[in-house]
Chain A
Amino acid sequence: MRKLWYTMKYKQLKKIIPVFSILLALALQIFIPNSPLHPQSKPYFTYVLIGFLTVYLILYLISFVRTSIDKMLVYRGAFIGGVVLFFNILNLLTAKAALLPVLYFPSLDRVFGVIAEQTDVLAKCVLYSARLLFFGIVFGALAGFTTGICLGFSKTVSYWLSPVIRIIGPIPSTAWIPLVLIAFPTAVSASAFLVGVAVWFPTTIMTSSGISNVQNAYFEVSRTLGASHRYQIFRVGIPAAMPHMFLGLFNGICSSFITLVTAEMIGAKYGIGWYINWQKEMLSYANVYAGLIIIAVLFSVLITLLFRFRDKILVWQKGVIKW
């Protein structure tokens, strides 16, 4: 009974860590004056902290009714507290004490200020980038799966194509720019192609290696069960290679993020990569960091969605393959 009481108290303590961390950050932010070296700005960091505190307190209240939220807060409590502490220290080092070079390390007030004040430009950039990523990833992945499947199943295709792919695949995307500019009618299609190539290469490699790694016994048993060649490809080879294909897609999407900045170098009007590049040249690092925060959020949402999707279609591989 006593022990149970202690573990319960311990649990509540873990859940309350972020609240203390946020309150500490708020107190320091409000009571320590900003260094005069930093340009004046509205206290956006205070707003962010207050907003975050509100959201957390709402979750905290819900956690007494919902066990899933409760578990998440108990588990994540220390981490969230730590992240807030990190921003707190960063705030002290920049805005409060100006210990870091002011030009390269703008105050958090200004970084969040960019997101708050330039919302429409940033939103437009996000939409443009999302469109580019969407077309690039869809076409790149489709092309990658197709090439990978052909490579995996056909000896002839493998003989002719795999050396070519080995040469073309690792070419950095910047090297394509001159060629792509001539070959594609619009800047958007050219950029989408660059993103597509970035997705295509890892998808192809992982798909074909996934198919060549399928146990021969699966094909043999399917033949004794009366499966045609076509049926073997689509109902045995591809499902068996699915985890590898997914890994390829995952790698591809990661490299597409990296390529995005390059792709937006060609005649882009908007785009988050273009925005960061442009602001970097203007030496406005507050805007660069704001762009980076947006990219990080955007990509982690995309990756989370991808994992959800994988868990849904690859239920069977739990307990078979782990990655």
Chain B
Amino acid sequence: MRYVSLLAALTGCITCITGTPALAQVPSATATTTTTQNTKPAYHAADAPSSTPVVYLGNMKPVMDHASYFHGILDEFEGRYAPGGSDFRWDGEAWYGTDYNRVWLKTEGTLEHGHLHDGDHELLYSRAISSYFNVQGGVRADIDDGPTRTWGALGVQGLALYEFEFQATAYVSDRGRFATRIEGSYDFLLTNRLILQPQAEFNLYTKSDPARQVGAGLSDVDAGLRLRYEVWRKFAPYVAVSYAGYLTQARRIVHDQHEETGALRFTFGIRSWF
């Protein structure tokens, strides 16, 4: 239960990071707008939504502001090298939909000595809720060479204050366990094309799951400091140092399994999107 309250605290923290006005949508209309002593004026927009639809000639809408778009991005597509062992990692997402409603597919995983772990795939419905944030809900499946787990997912994704990219998702598993993932990144522009990006992902669980090398509490972290060069916007090779490791209880679990508990690796890869 300790971790449930941790989740609650995190939610509070998220509200903090995202900025209250963005999430809570404090109505700006509360400001008094006239100095007359009368009651506050009845606002009426000349272009207020109307129940009588406009009949356009030939049923032609003059502009197309309600289109759907399809994009995908590979944030990480990289080889990681260290004396103790090298691996390959990807982390990407794709979405399709309108300004408000989108379907997201997120996927990440690490391939190490022909062994796939940390495979995490999510199919989410995403709803825009504020200027910079979306609420996302759906399913997550941990599919890799370990035992498969499935989770229900609910989270927020967006651009926090000071332009931090931020995602926080809470999960509940088919076995009644809870988990949280928090991801963040930030772009420092060294020049307009050379960009330094610190990035980190943390996973927390309420209960241990040794078969998946998961420990209760803060279980693992994957972080990187990537220096990319945007040859063009959609194609940027990068060099980085990355760290992937297990923490607290998970660290002991992994240690007992005689596997590496964490490694700093020299990394290079490609960031690309369409």
Question: Is chain B a partner of chain A in the same complex?
Answer: no
Which residues does B use to contact A, with CB under 8 Å?
none
A-side residues, CB < 8 A to B, are: none
